[in-house]
Structure 1
């Protein structure tokens, strides 16, 4: 990344990363909070959310990143034999989302670290801007 545009450009690009990572954190939290939602075997299971990130003005170095869309996992889920469950079918099965908690926790850590890294860039760019203002005042 060139410094043309200075800290304002860095803040703008890093803020696009903050937004994408926040959306990823939201999706992961939705997935984790719905991990144990049972439905009838006739219904669809909660569908895992996946955030698709894409570059803005790819190759120019000017655009940052944006959410290109949300993909949904399988509505088929997994069948679990729980004959005492109130939603169980005549064979004693209920449908749960097919979401792996370990995978979600890994994604949560990656999204959190990406979010923090982009916020750190914003903080450093802000500090550089403040230092430049101080230089201007002292001249």
Structure 2
């Protein structure tokens, strides 16, 4: 695997973590949305990630020379899908709310700000680590070019 292949892996992780952070932001923005266009409360979204281009962990380890002979380089990570939660809505008593049912209860999305902040911190941390990896790779490329001078 060459350094450009490593940059491609890191850049795929940067894209995936950006999507993850965007989904968390949408969840937080809709934490109090009691009625969507479909007439139901907003449903929490989650990002599902997968290895890109059919790569496997063993294949990645081989390509890095950790185990066995080298094979095709790993392809990084990609967003497989964004799925909606199937958790039931939280019911709160608020008879003055326009979306209250006959008993005075309003259905709110099952979104925990704490859970969303933990997800955002994880996405942010992963993004930062991959950005650092790209910077280190750029430094290695610059040092390689300096050796060739």
Taking structure 1 as the reference length, the TM-score comes to 0.87
Contact residue 92 and residue 107 of structure 2 kept, 8 A: yes
Residues 61-87 of structure 1: per-residue CA shift (max 9 Å, x gap) = 111111111111137411211111122
Question: 1:119: which partner in 2?
Answer: 131
The count of residues paired between Structure 1 and Structure 2 equals 132
CA distance in 2, matches of 1:113, 1:43: 36
CA distance in 1, matches of 2:16, 2:142: 26
SS in 1 for 2:80: strand
Question: 1:128: which partner in 2?
Answer: 140
Map 1:47-58 to 2 at 5 A.
Answer: 47-56=43-52, 57-58=55-56
Contact residue 34 and residue 40 of structure 2 kept, 8 A: no
CA distance in 2, matches of 1:95, 1:74: 14
Residues 50-70 of structure 1: per-residue CA shift (max 9 Å, x gap) = 111111211321111111111
Question: 1:96: which partner in 2?
Answer: 108
CA distance in 1, matches of 2:108, 2:144: 56
Structure 2 residue corresponding to 1:30, chosen from 26, 32, 38: 26
Taking structure 2 as the reference length, the TM-score comes to 0.81
Question: Where does structure 2 lack aligned partners over 5 or more consecutive residues?
Answer: 61-73
Residues 84-121 of structure 1: per-residue CA shift (max 9 Å, x gap) = 11222332222110111111111111110001001111
